[in-house]
């Protein structure tokens, strides 16, 4: 039986404008653009990455949806039928890339920020100092001081290691393997310039990036790829990865064909072998076991760096986060169900987990209720798209936020969701040398830095309009948020009042 998939997109070429320079053919990494006596697109291969259209000097290329590839049906949408056809052909688990694309409600867009008028003056951030500096790590319950023998006052309380951020936005955990070394370089350089952190993900740290140690979170995941004592110590912070928003509860799998010479060195596995990360850490079956690994890492770094534990936002996230803090983590990173991935089974990405907004509110509230909120910083990840989202997350209780997809978009990503194929035309989610060289790390770093500069300016504008002069003053200040078009239960969970209600 024929079950050929119809083309998802139609590539239209304006032959009046096309001057047959073949630039589109050279740029297409999915085998769509072909040259016969003229450019002839193989529509079925198009993934709408827009590389060809972007680089066409004559603007002769338009990519459109293949509207009637599937006859309209409100129940049997094209995506669903495409998936059934694919699985009927292959019998396989559907793989996908990037974050959840389904039209679930975006709660950030149902929250509005307060501003000052008349009775409480706003502040002009262009002329007055405005503080975005954030410290990640365990804060003491109290500070104790004592007079020393010279009669001066000394701090007696032993402070735990802290990481200073100039902007409360970190780059998300994306491994070298999922993304290219040039992308990793760009992230490390930008983190260094902007005073923030990048995160190695679970693929180890390439030696070229060791000079950026002060701006790097090194991850320890279940596969322990490239994890050794030097790696742990080449960092600002160490993160135990338990879960990822795009694929809660499941492991990872870097196929052997992506494990070339450099990745092999970084992950410390032979060239061409699969890098399989088991779903759980098999040395962690309980909070007590987690504590054991946290302190194993603290011992290995001699208690000089904070240790973060990253989990996916799941139903019971608040209780789990409480356990994580009590286990000794200095930072809890929560990744919401819109977080991205290099590769994940579609059924998991699209159906498992909860929105980060609700998870964040629940975790912050739980830690406050238990009187342990100061024991750990909260990092909020998975679906942060703008400085507005950052401000709302911080008002809901986050210490800092994470951008993964937004960072990739800044480097050129068009969210075509084909990361798992390794054919990324923009040189980001690929290991093919002819593609990775398309991403100039210097240009990438500049664009990432620009994005953070822009968001910093915007955050300062928001703070100014709120009449506060530091991000500290907004942190956990839910009174400055209002909900719109939200039901009572959701408002209650978010801990905010509906718009229209004053104090």
Q: Which residues bind another protein (CB under 8 A)?
A: 86-87, 89-95, 220, 222-224, 227-230, 232, 253, 255-256, 264, 268-270, 272-274, 276, 278, 282-283, 292-293, 295-296, 299-302, 345, 420-421
Residue among 424 and 471 whose Cβ is closer to another protein: 424
Q: 303: which DSSP letter? A: T
Q: Distance (Å, rounded) from C-alpha 32 to C-alpha 44?
A: 7
**Closer by beta carbon to another protein, 275 or else 474:** 275
C-alpha 296/C-alpha 177 separation (Å) is 26
Of 185 and 267, nearer to another protein (C-beta) is 267
Report in angstroms how near the CB of residue 299 gets to another protein at its nearest: 4
**339: phi then psi, degrees, rounded to nearest 5:** -65, 155
Enter the tokens of residue 322. Answer: 């409480």
The least distance separating another protein from the CB of residue 217, rounded to whole angstroms, comes to 17
Shortest spacing between CB 86 and another protein, in angstroms: 5
In this complex, which beta carbon is closest to another protein, that of residue 77 or of residue 88? 88
Cβ-in-10-Å burial (0-12, 13-18, 19+) of 67 comes to exposed
Reduced to 3 states (helix: H, G, I; strand: E, B; else coil), residue 16 is coil
- Shortest Å, Cβ 224 to another protein: 3
Residues whose CB is less than 8 angstroms from the CB of residue 411 and which lie 6 or more positions away in sequence, other chains included = 183, 186, 426, 428, 439, 444, 447, 448
Give the contacts of 308 (CB within 8 A, at least 6 positions apart). 136, 217, 237, 238, 239, 240, 329, 330, 331, 332, 333, 379
Q: Between residues 37 and 230, which has the closer beta carbon with respect to another protein?
A: 230
Secondary structure of 398-451 in the HEC alphabet? CCEEEECHHHHHHCCCCCCCCHHHCCCCCCCCCCCHHHHCCCCHHHHHHHHHHH
User: Shortest distance, CB of residue 94 to another protein, whole angstroms?
Assistant: 5
How far apart are alpha carbons 399 and 275 in whole angstroms? 33
Cβ proximity to another protein, 135 vs 210, nearer residue:
210
Q: Which is nearer to another protein, 54 or 264 (CB)?
A: 264
Least Å from the CB of residue 45 to another protein: 12
User: Minimum CB separation from another protein for residue 5, in Å?
Assistant: 11
> Closest CB to another protein among 259 and 408?
259
Q: How far is the CB of 281 from another protein (least distance, A)?
A: 8
Strands 216-220 and 237-241 turn out to be parallel
Q: How far is the CB of 290 from another protein (least distance, A)?
A: 12
Characterise 91 by phi-psi region: left (phi > 0), alpha (psi -120 to 50), beta (else).
left
For another protein, the closer CB: 59 or 286: 286
**Nearest residue (CB) to another protein, 152 versus 158:** 158
- Residue 90 CB, nearest approach to another protein (Å): 4
Q: How many CA atoms are closer than 13 Å to the CA of 390, on its beta-carbon side?
A: 27
CB 399 within 8 A of CB 30: no
**Residue nearer to another protein on the CB measure, 270 or 371:** 270
Tell me how far apart the alpha carbons of residues 123 and 126 are, in angstroms, rounded to a whole number. 9
The encoded tokens of residue 270 equal 């032979």
Task: Name the β-bridge partners of 336.
Answer: none
Specify the 3-state DSSP secondary structure of 484: coil
> Is the CB of 8 or the CB of 364 nearer to another protein?
8
Residue carrying structure tokens 């779903």 = 279
Burial (Cβ within 10 Å: 0-12, 13-18, ≥19) of residue 437: exposed
Phi/psi for 296 (5° steps) reads: -60, -40
**CB neighbourhood size of 106 (10 A):** 14
Q: Least CB distance from residue 19 to another protein, whole Å?
A: 35
CB of 21: closest distance to another protein in angstroms? Answer: 31
């Amino acid at each position: 039986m024929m079950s050929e998939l119809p083309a998802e997109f139609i590539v239209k070429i304006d032959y009046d404008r096309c001057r047959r320079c073949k630039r589109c053919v050279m740029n297409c990494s999915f085998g769509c653009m072909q040259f016969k006596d003229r450019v002839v697109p193989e529509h079925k291969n198009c993934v709408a990455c827009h590389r060809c259209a972007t680089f066409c000097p004559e603007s002769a290329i338009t990519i459109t949806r293949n509207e009637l590839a599937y006859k309209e049906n409100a129940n049997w949408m094209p995506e669903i039928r495409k998936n059934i056809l694919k699985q009927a052909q292959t019998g396989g688990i559907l793989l996908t890339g990037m974050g959840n694309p389904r039209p679930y409600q975006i709660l950030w867009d149902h929250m509005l920020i307060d501003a000052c008028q008349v009775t409480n003056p706003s502040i002009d951030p262009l002329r007055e100092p405005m503080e975005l500096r954030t410290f990640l790590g365990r804060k003491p319950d109290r500070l104790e001081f004592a007079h020393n023998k010279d009669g001066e006052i000394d701090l007696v309380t032993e402070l735990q290691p802290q990481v200073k951020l100039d902007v409360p936005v970190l780059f998300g955990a994306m491994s070298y393997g999922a993304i290219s070394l040039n992308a990793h370089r760009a992230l490390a350089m930008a983190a260094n310039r902007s005073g923030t952190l990048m995160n190695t993900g679970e693929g180890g740290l390439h030696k070229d990036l060791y000079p950026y140690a002060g701006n790097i979170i090194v991850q320890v995941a279940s596969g322990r790829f490239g994890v050794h004592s030097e790696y742990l110590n080449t960092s600002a912070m160490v993160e135990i990865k338990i879960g990822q928003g795009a694929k809660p509860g499941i492991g990872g799998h870097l196929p052997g064909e992506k494990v070339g010479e450099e990745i092999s060195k970084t992950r410390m596995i032979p060239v061409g072998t699969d890098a399989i990360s088991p779903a759980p850490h098999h040395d962690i079956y309980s909070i007590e076991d987690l504590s054991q690994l946290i302190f194993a890492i603290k011992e290995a770094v001699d208690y000089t760096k904070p240790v973060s534990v990253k989990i996916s936002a799941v139903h019971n996230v608040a209780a789990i986060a409480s356990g994580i803090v009590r286990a000794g983590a200095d930072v809890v990173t929560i990744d919401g169900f819109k977080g991205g991935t290099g590769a994940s089974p579609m059924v998991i990405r699209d159906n498992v987990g909860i929105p980060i907004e609700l998870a964040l509110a629940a975790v912050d509230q739980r830690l406050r209720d238990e009187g342990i909120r100061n024991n750990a910083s909260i990092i909020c990840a998975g679906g942060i798209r703008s400085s507005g989202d950052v401000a709302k997350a911080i008002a809901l209780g986050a210490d800092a936020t994470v951008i993964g997809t937004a960072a990739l978009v800044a480097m050129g990503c068009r969210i075509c969701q084909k990361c798992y194929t390794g054919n990324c035309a923009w040189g980001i989610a690929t290991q093919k040398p002819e593609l990775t060289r398309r991403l100039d790390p210097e240009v990438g770093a500049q664009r990432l830095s620009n994005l953070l500069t822009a968001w910093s300016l915007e955050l300062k504008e928001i703070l100014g309009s709120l009449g506060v002069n530091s991000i500290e003053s907004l942190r956990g200040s839910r009174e400055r948020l209002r909900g719109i078009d939200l039901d009572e239960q959701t408002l209650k969970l978010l801990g905010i009042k509906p718009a229209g209600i004053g104090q």
